[in-house]
A and B are shown apart, each in its own frame.
Chain A
Amino acid sequence: MAEMMDLQDAPSVDANGDGSKSLLKVKDLRVWFELRRFGFGHAGYVKAVDGVNFDLPHGDAIAIVGESGCGKSSLMKTILGLNIPTEGTIQFEDQVVSDLDPKGLQEFRSSQIGYVQQDPFGALPPFMNVRRILEEPLIVGGISDKEERLKIIRKSMNEVRLIPADDYLDKFPHQMSGGQQQRVVIARAMIRNPKLIVADEPVSMLDASVRVEILRLLRGLQEAHNLSVIYITHDLSTVRYFSEHIFVMYAGKIIEKAPVEDLLQKPKHPYTLALLAATSDPDYENALTFKEVPPGEPPSLVNPPSGCHFHPRCSEWIKGLCEVKEPPDFEPEPDHIVACWLFEEKQDV
């Protein structure tokens, strides 16, 4: 696709040249929300994100997989600069996100990061037509020439394959199907040529037949623009078609990180195993058997279990170790990191 939007890059930070190693560095990130009793007395913390580390290289797509309430949305919001980290840092190229002043943060958010929401209908203002919706970020970005804006809008609508653009420019969200709405959301996220796209369950609200189409579109855009993408999902089956790495999150921590095929073929952490076992492929034999499901429910993040957060539900927990000490990251195989005591000795061998 043609690179006609070069002028778009002008207002962005000029650290592009030397940032060859990683785009985003998350270091020992903790996001705790304080609970208050009757509005003032301290009543503990919700430890939504509790010690997360990762590096996201330029042009890489990662998937963060976890169940609701595991802290993946809090992590995402902190990356977008919507939450203030309690501890640790998020470094975007050379910039520490939490050091930005409100104005810088706004500029950072609107020009460096694109956000694709889960529910397209909820994410699009119902009283604006597509032209208005896509124009907004450009106005905020200071492009004052109307013709110029329209040109950029048409180009990005072409990219998300809302073709011909003229048919859609004057439509309102409710006049479009879910798939088309999601394309508008993606076009909006992409329109200022961000370096990072954060997609929060971008296809979970769509029909099966459209899902694949949208995922492919995202993948195509990612490759064409050398974008980095953080894909947040609970659906392991769509991950392999989208990203290079999977991070599995449980109760505020990343418990396993591995390349996609590695993780799907040779999962290590008992929780990842359970997740994979619970994901069905369409097969009539499924109806004949019961699924192995770990007992209980994900823990409350106010008072998570001691030691390994998964130990009360784990079938292989080691008494005297798992409930006492939090497992550090082990690397039983190169590039396959797992936070589980089961893999302790395997590292020494």
Chain B
Amino acid sequence: MAKNQNLLQVENLELHFRTTNGVVQAVDGVSFALENHSSVVVLGESGCGKTSFAKAILRLLPRNVHKYSGKVIFEGKDVMTFTDEDFRRNVRWVGMSMVPQAALNSLNPVMRIGDQVAEPAMIHHSMDRDEAWSVASRMVQHVGVPSDFLRRYPFELSGGMRQRAAIAMALVTLPSLIILDEPTSALDLLTQANIMNVLKRIKEEFGTSYILITHDIATSSELAENVAVMYAGQIVEVSDARRFFTEPLHPYSQKLMASVPRVRGGTEPEFITGTPPSLLNPPTGCRFKDRCMQRFEKCDEEPPVIDADGILVKCWLYGEE
């Protein structure tokens, strides 16, 4: 790991929200690292804090933030110390950008596709409109949108085309990291496969790194080099894809993998009993313990992150004793 400089390193990141019911600990002490030119899939069920995690990295915060702390080291700089204005100028879009969830609805309905795709280039690379449009035109063709679509409005495009436009927008400033939040969950099967192909090609050509946030394990394997599993605001396992998809370590990851229905191969999928804990008042100790089949006394204490042969896992089962 040391040979390759980390593109992104997150240390003990916390993001808590204030709500009328109390403090929601959406991201609670997350640490992980992403190497240059690589990709990580963040897997988790709805409500586990994975979107908040993405937003915490990009500092796209709502107003009711209660606590936002930790370290985000991006390209060697601790960007958490940046002021909001510095962050906007030098990090967001320039260094890393995001394809938001439901990109279908994230496009401005009254702006032409071309203006929307070109806008980040005009603002961050101070290009004039014509120049930015020509860059935009190159980018949309790259993701498989005919360049005459630039003159159209979002409602004139199909779901897959809009999703591609949103990807082109994130790509137009050539950032080194793109955060993809459920980029294909609203799309059809063949369109999904197409978008995944596009993302793979971009990765090869531009060397872009990805953080892919999703609950769709099967599709995520298309883009996975590393896998991080999130549960109740915490990362419980970080593994490389090859090992994760064959033998996950954390009991939650094992259950999650076992719940995936497969087209090929005939194992019956299982389900996980119980529901994830509320993030308002997460249980002490291991947060998965109430649903875990392998629970023992130690689980009442918070498990440390244990290095089991290069796989980081937050579970007492792998503690050296």
Partner-B contacts on A (CB < 8 A): 67-68, 177-179, 207-213, 216, 234-238, 240-241, 264, 274-284, 286-287, 290-291, 293-294, 297-298
Partner-A contacts on B (CB < 8 A): 39, 45-46, 158-160, 188-194, 196-197, 200-201, 215-225, 241-242, 244-246, 255-257, 259-265, 268-272, 275
Q: When the two chains form their complex, are residues A209 and B255 in contact, meaning their CB atoms are under 8 A apart?
A: yes
4 closest residue pairs by CB, A with B:
A278-B193, A213-B271, A67-B188, A284-B241
Q: When the two chains form their complex, are residues B269 and A67 in contact, meaning their CB atoms are under 8 A apart?
A: no
Q: When the two chains form their complex, are residues B45 and A208 in contact, meaning their CB atoms are under 8 A apart?
A: yes
A297–B194 alpha-carbon span in the complex (Å): 11
Q: When the two chains form their complex, are residues B256 and A208 in contact, meaning their CB atoms are under 8 A apart?
A: yes
Nearest Cβ on chain A to B239's Cβ, whole angstroms: 10
Known: A282-B245, A290-B197. A207 touches B218 (CB 8 A): no
Nearest Cβ on chain A to B186's Cβ, whole angstroms: 9
Extra pairs beyond A67-B189, A291-B197, A291-B222 (9, CB < 8 Å): A179-B275, A207-B45, A216-B271, A264-B264, A282-B220, A282-B221, A284-B221, A291-B194, A297-B158
Closest B-chain residue to A277, C-beta based?
B193
A279–B220 alpha-carbon span in the complex (Å): 11
A212–B255 alpha-carbon span in the complex (Å): 12
Which residues on B sit within 8 Å (CB–CB) of A280? 193, 218-219, 221-222
Q: When the two chains form their complex, are residues A282 and B189 in contact, meaning their CB atoms are under 8 A apart?
A: no
Q: When the two chains form their complex, are residues A279 and B218 in contact, meaning their CB atoms are under 8 A apart?
A: yes
Nearest Cβ on chain B to A61's Cβ, whole angstroms: 15
Known: A279-B263, A281-B265. A67 touches B245 (CB 8 A): no
Closest A-chain residue to B269, C-beta based?
A212
A278–B191 alpha-carbon span in the complex (Å): 9
A198–B32 alpha-carbon span in the complex (Å): 45
Q: When the two chains form their complex, are residues B190 and A278 in contact, meaning their CB atoms are under 8 A apart?
A: yes
Which residues on A sit within 8 Å (CB–CB) of B194? 291, 293
A58–B268 alpha-carbon span in the complex (Å): 26
Which residues on A sit within 8 Å (CB–CB) of B160? 297
Q: When the two chains form their complex, are residues A275 and B261 in contact, meaning their CB atoms are under 8 A apart?
A: no
Q: When the two chains form their complex, are residues B261 and A293 in contact, meaning their CB atoms are under 8 A apart?
A: no
Q: When the two chains form their complex, are residues B270 and A207 in contact, meaning their CB atoms are under 8 A apart?
A: no
Nearest Cβ on chain A to B134's Cβ, whole angstroms: 26
Closest B-chain residue to A214, C-beta based?
B271
Q: When the two chains form their complex, are residues A278 and B259 in contact, meaning their CB atoms are under 8 A apart?
A: no
Q: When the two chains form their complex, are residues A237 and B188 in contact, meaning their CB atoms are under 8 A apart?
A: no
A294–B193 alpha-carbon span in the complex (Å): 10
Known: A208-B45, A238-B261. A284 touches B224 (CB 8 A): yes
Which residues on B sit within 8 Å (CB–CB) of A209? 45, 255-256, 259, 271-272
The residue that A208 contacts in the complex, of B192, B196, B215, with Cβ under 8 A, is: B215
A–B complex contacts, Cβ < 8 Å, 10 sampled: A67-B190, A237-B262, A276-B263, A278-B190, A280-B219, A280-B221, A281-B260, A281-B264, A283-B245, A291-B193
Which residues on B sit within 8 Å (CB–CB) of A291? 193-194, 196-197, 222
A238–B225 alpha-carbon span in the complex (Å): 26
Q: When the two chains form their complex, are residues B192 and A236 in contact, meaning their CB atoms are under 8 A apart?
A: no
Which residues on A sit within 8 Å (CB–CB) of B261? 211-212, 235, 237-238, 240-241
Closest B-chain residue to A280, C-beta based?
B218
Closest B-chain residue to A274, C-beta based?
B190
Which residues on A sit within 8 Å (CB–CB) of B223? 287
Which residues on B sit within 8 Å (CB–CB) of A290? 197, 200-201
A177–B272 alpha-carbon span in the complex (Å): 14
Q: When the two chains form their complex, are residues B272 and A294 in contact, meaning their CB atoms are under 8 A apart?
A: no
Which residues on B sit within 8 Å (CB–CB) of A210? 271
Most A-side CB within 10 Å, residue of B159, B160, B201, B221: B221
Which residues on B sit within 8 Å (CB–CB) of A178? 46
Which residues on A sit within 8 Å (CB–CB) of B244? 284
Q: When the two chains form their complex, are residues A278 and B265 in contact, meaning their CB atoms are under 8 A apart?
A: no
Which residues on A sit within 8 Å (CB–CB) of B268? 241
Nearest Cβ on chain B to A237's Cβ, whole angstroms: 4
A210–B255 alpha-carbon span in the complex (Å): 11
Q: When the two chains form their complex, are residues B189 and A237 in contact, meaning their CB atoms are under 8 A apart?
A: no
Nearest Cβ on chain A to B235's Cβ, whole angstroms: 18
Which residues on A sit within 8 Å (CB–CB) of B45? 207-209
A178–B276 alpha-carbon span in the complex (Å): 12
Which residues on B sit within 8 Å (CB–CB) of A67? 188-191
The residue that B218 contacts in the complex, of A212, A234, A237, A298, with Cβ under 8 A, is: A237
A210–B261 alpha-carbon span in the complex (Å): 12
A283–B219 alpha-carbon span in the complex (Å): 9
Which residues on B sit within 8 Å (CB–CB) of A297? 158, 160, 191
The residue that A275 contacts in the complex, of B190, B218, B219, with Cβ under 8 A, is: B190
Known: A287-B221, A291-B196. A282 touches B260 (CB 8 A): yes
Known: A237-B218, A291-B196. A279 touches B245 (CB 8 A): no
A68–B260 alpha-carbon span in the complex (Å): 23
Nearest Cβ on chain A to B226's Cβ, whole angstroms: 10
Q: When the two chains form their complex, are residues A287 and B275 in contact, meaning their CB atoms are under 8 A apart?
A: no
The residue that B224 contacts in the complex, of A235, A275, A287, with Cβ under 8 A, is: A287
A258–B267 alpha-carbon span in the complex (Å): 21
